[in-house]
Amino acid sequence: MDPKSSKWTASSKNQFFMILAIILLQHQLQFPVTYAETAKKVHIVYMGEKRHEDPATTKKTHFEMLSTLLGSKEAAQSSILYSYRHGFSGFAARITASQAAEIAEFPGVVQVIPNGIHKLHTTRSWEFIGLEHHSPQNLLTQSNMGQGTIIGVIDSGVWPESKSFHDEGMGPVPSHWKGICQQGEHFKSYNCNRKIIGARWFVKGFQDQTHFNTTGSREFMSPRDGDGHGTHTASTAAGNFVAKASYKGLATGLARGGAPLAHLAIYKVCWNIEDGGGCTDADILKAFDKAIHDGVDILSVSIGINIPLFSYVDMRNSIAIGSFHATSKGITVVCSAGNDGPISQTVANTAPWLTTVAASTIDRAFPTAIILGNNKTLRGQSITKGKHNHRFVGLTYSERIALNPMVSSQDCQPGSLNPTLAAGKIILCFSKSDTQDMFSASGSVFQAGGVGLIYAQFHNDGIELCEWIPCVKVDYEVGTQILSYIRQARSPTAKLSFPKTVVGKRVSPRLASFSSRGPSSITPEVLKPDIAAPGVDILAAYTPANKDHGNSYEFLSGTSMACPHVSGIVALIKSLHPNWSPAAIRSALVTTASQTGTDGMKIFEEGSTRKEADPFDMGGGHVNPEKAAYPGLVYDTTTEEYIQYLCSIGYSSSSITRLTNTKINCMKNTNTRLNLNLPSITIPNLKTKVTVTRKVTNVGNVNSVYKAIVQAPIGISLAVEPQTLSFNRINKILSFRVTFLSSQKVQGEYRFGSLIWTDGEHFVRSPISVRAKKTSDY
């Protein structure tokens, strides 16, 4: 993350965290072993499913264990940070590495790990995906806009004064709610209402990791959001109606969240400091623990871990662990896929019980005219509303004004431009890679005295905000045309127009280039991401405390923005179908997703080369809320099935027993990894022939007959048995088998297809991904 931008969504700004992690690791390795053994650091002692329903008894067990380790109750009291006693059992405490090794051998302890730190991964978007506010028969109306559901948001807090969080029209606080409105710095009990019904903050893990305090920072030791990320995601999921919301006059319209009448519960775990920030495992797990206790229905988590991923029973994958316990209690957990695309195998949050969301574009554009001195007009995109060039000014190419002729200034990185030559001019810059961004280039041009920026980049999925000077983003083709004019003209000049807001003219959706791609690097047989949703240039509430922006509504891009879109949709579906499980809801989203854009053609991805989006880009496809509400059939999955899946990927019965607090017998089934009842089928290593089983539950018309339609991957033959499923009052759940046979003679790449069950009204589509593998040691 670029700490000066405070935009925690773009992968280009998240490099800071990776560098920080490497520095911290190297720093730790420089100390002698004796220091590592005696230095106290926060460790998480995970004990799996709680053994007692009484939280006080569970907490007492934790203190007794820690007292035994440390020798006294007083030492345990001063050491412990958190006791996890609602959703699962465990605690976080300051202990040495040798003490951590010792307590790991105590009876009942599943795992002990050091505290880690993770990163944080709308006026038009809802209409774009079909949730029209004024339509009398749509999902928004039928679900009463999510009234009665509670969305928990684990993020950077909330700015409660935002107009998006007023409670006009809200129903009463649900009777099952058990949470609190935790007070703190500039956050009082009256900051909660019938919209924000509860708020908590967790900082002990982050404090220990960073020695953080709020002196001289914009952070607040309370649920109040000093960054803006949490406010943005919360208002996207469930913001109330706000008329004429805009960013400095752009994208003006009626702002609202996906479920405008759903309630919000805020769990602040992510903290922003001048030289970095993040969210630690200890704090994240405590948020999950409290959210389970408080009674949320949905959890929206726009946080992720870096590659390489940790296993699903490894405490360093705190989101996987916390979400397992939440899902087993009926809470749907929605997570962002990550912002490390378009590279394959970068998707985060890959546990099969999660709903993982990729980011896409919408059909809104902000065209800006670039008028050259030869009267030729070219067009780019801009969301800058500042002092524009009403008259022609000098135009130059960044390489011509390099501060050091021996160092390339093509991409206008900080310190690369000569202020004497840049002053008063519009500068043309070319991005060299996806890791460079217009925001940092605009700061460089501004510092050098430039008055405008034209930024050429190979993809167009998202426009960085520029606060200081007008900025226009163009593709390489337009950038090259401008460069040709600069080279030919004796005194090149240009002026930039104000941007406009245009909707319905741009082919969308497109998969954002930054959106992390599959397949999963840890369990490739589980398709991730599950679904795609709007996540590019999303306008939502923001915090005025963020000095880099300070606006009430802000454009942000990232899978962090896509995640709460799906969380809001889940709230609507949950209101309509309160007894549906998290797996059933995920299945409804995946199997009804759209495959085509506004032009009727296949959805494409944005990247170094454009291609049709495949399941590793967008899972089942682009979210279609109206169809997801009535999917016809669902692929439901139980906690027991998830447990057997954990058995199949190598975990022992004893370790899983400690995780779940139930006696587990791992079944000997060689196909368990492929037979987990997901709404997709992924076979990463098809050698010759394999048969996969699935079962579907009828949630549509009682007496229904569904027939199979198969689109086999290239080079793969595919047979479904039976080819017809007949449902009635007795037979509500039916199974089928799919047999795959490879005809490829050489090692293959992934090929894609689909299986659709249809009764003529519903089309229940499962994406299929298959890779042929001819030898075991290829």
What does the pLDDT read at residue 9?
40
Measured in degrees and rounded to the nearest 5, phi and psi for residue 151 equal -100, 120
Instruction: From 140, 149, 226, select the one nearest 195 (Cα to Cα).
Output: 149
Question: Residue 72's domain is classified under what CATH number?
Answer: 3.30.70.80
- Top pLDDT among 664 and 284 is at 284
Task: Kindly state whether residue 700 falls inside one of the protein's structural domains.
Answer: yes
Residue 175, pLDDT > 80, answer yes
| High-pLDDT (> 90) share of the chain, % | 60
What does the pLDDT read at residue 30?
37
- 553 & 690 share domain: no
Which residue, 65, 98, 114, sits at the end of a domain? 114
pLDDT mean across residues, the chain: 86
Question: Residue 217's domain is classified under what CATH number?
Answer: 3.40.50.200
Question: Residue 687's domain is classified under what CATH number?
Answer: 2.60.40.2310
Where are the strands (E) in 227-275, listed by range? 242-247, 250-255, 263-268, 270-273
What does the pLDDT read at residue 388?
59
Confidence band for 3, pLDDT divided at 50, 70 and 90: very low
Residue 128, pLDDT > 80, answer no
Q: Supply the range of the domain harboring residue 691.
A: 677-772
- 141 & 208 share domain: yes
What does the pLDDT read at residue 8?
37
Instruction: From 445, 456, 393, 389, select the one nearest 422 (Cα to Cα).
Output: 445
Task: Kindly state whether residue 24 falls inside one of the protein's structural domains.
Answer: no
- Top pLDDT among 555 and 374 is at 374
Tell me if 291 sits within 8 A of 278, measured CB to CB: no
What does the pLDDT read at residue 173?
97
Residue 188 in 3-state DSSP?
A: coil
Cα(62)–Cα(51) distance, integer angstroms: 12
Span 92-120, pLDDT tens digits: 999 999 999 999 999 989 889 889 888 87
- Kindly state the average pLDDT of the residues 35-44: 75
Task: Kindly state whether residue 665 falls inside one of the protein's structural domains.
Answer: no
- 195 & 242 share domain: yes
- 206 & 169 share domain: yes
Where are the strands (E) in 305-366, listed by range? 332-336, 355-360, 364-365
- 195 & 308 share domain: yes
- 110 & 135 share domain: no
Question: Residue 398's domain is classified under what CATH number?
Answer: 3.50.30.30
Residue 26, pLDDT > 70, answer no
- Tokens at residue 41, please? 């650091």
Cα(771)–Cα(29) distance, integer angstroms: 40
- 532 & 462 share domain: no
- Tokens at residue 199, please? 């708020």
Cα(480)–Cα(64) distance, integer angstroms: 70
Q: What is the pTM of this model?
A: 0.85
- 490 & 510 share domain: no
Cα of 447 vs its chain's centroid, Å:
33
- 92 & 204 share domain: no
- Tokens at residue 78, please? 């001063």
Task: Kindly state whether residue 647 falls inside one of the protein's structural domains.
Answer: no
Instruction: From 270, 234, 287, 463, select the one nearest 361 (Cα to Cα).
Output: 463
Confidence band for 1, pLDDT divided at 50, 70 and 90: very low
Span 539-568, pLDDT tens digits: 899 988 765 555 688 888 899 999 999 999
Helix locations, 472-603, DSSP H? 476-488, 559-576, 582-591
- 711 & 609 share domain: no
Poorest-pLDDT segment among 12-16, 60-64, 554-558: 12-16
Task: Kindly state whether residue 431 falls inside one of the protein's structural domains.
Answer: yes
Tell me if 132 sits within 8 A of 140, measured CB to CB: yes
- Kindly state the average pLDDT of the residues 653-666: 73
Q: Which run of H or of E encompasses 316?
A: none
Exposure class string for 200-225: b at 16+ Cβ within 10 A, else e: bbbbbbbbbbbebeeeeebbbbbbbb
Cα(24)–Cα(270) distance, integer angstroms: 19
Tell me if 45 sits within 8 A of 81, measured CB to CB: no
Span 431-443, pLDDT tens digits: 876 656 788 888 8
Span 207-256, pLDDT tens digits: 988 877 766 678 899 999 999 999 999 999 999 988 766 566 555 667 88
What does the pLDDT read at residue 108?
87
Confidence band for 669, pLDDT divided at 50, 70 and 90: low
Poorest-pLDDT segment among 21-25, 393-397, 648-652, 691-695: 21-25
Span 476-499, pLDDT tens digits: 999 999 999 999 999 999 999 887
Residue 312, pLDDT > 70, answer no
- Tokens at residue 89, please? 């059992």
Residue 140, pLDDT > 50, answer yes
Give the active site residues: 155, 229, 560
Task: Kindly state whether residue 656 falls inside one of the protein's structural domains.
Answer: no
Measured in degrees and rounded to the nearest 5, phi and psi for residue 149 equal -90, 155
What does the pLDDT read at residue 25?
35
The CB density around residue 465, as the number of other CB atoms within 10 Å, is: 24
- 323 & 405 share domain: no
- Top pLDDT among 777 and 108 is at 108
Confidence band for 32, pLDDT divided at 50, 70 and 90: very low
What does the pLDDT read at residue 777?
46
Tell me if 192 sits within 8 A of 199, measured CB to CB: yes
Task: Kindly state whether residue 25 falls inside one of the protein's structural domains.
Answer: no
Residue 683 in 3-state DSSP?
A: strand
Q: How many domains does the chain have?
A: 4
Residue 774, pLDDT > 70, answer no
- 511 & 495 share domain: no
Span 616-659, pLDDT tens digits: 999 999 999 999 999 999 999 999 999 889 888 877 777 677 66
| High-pLDDT (> 70) share of the chain, % | 84
Residue 5, pLDDT > 60, answer no
Exposure class string for 75-92: b at 16+ Cβ within 10 A, else e: ebeebbbbbbbbbbbbbb
Confidence band for 502, pLDDT divided at 50, 70 and 90: confident
Task: Kindly state whether residue 222 falls inside one of the protein's structural domains.
Answer: yes
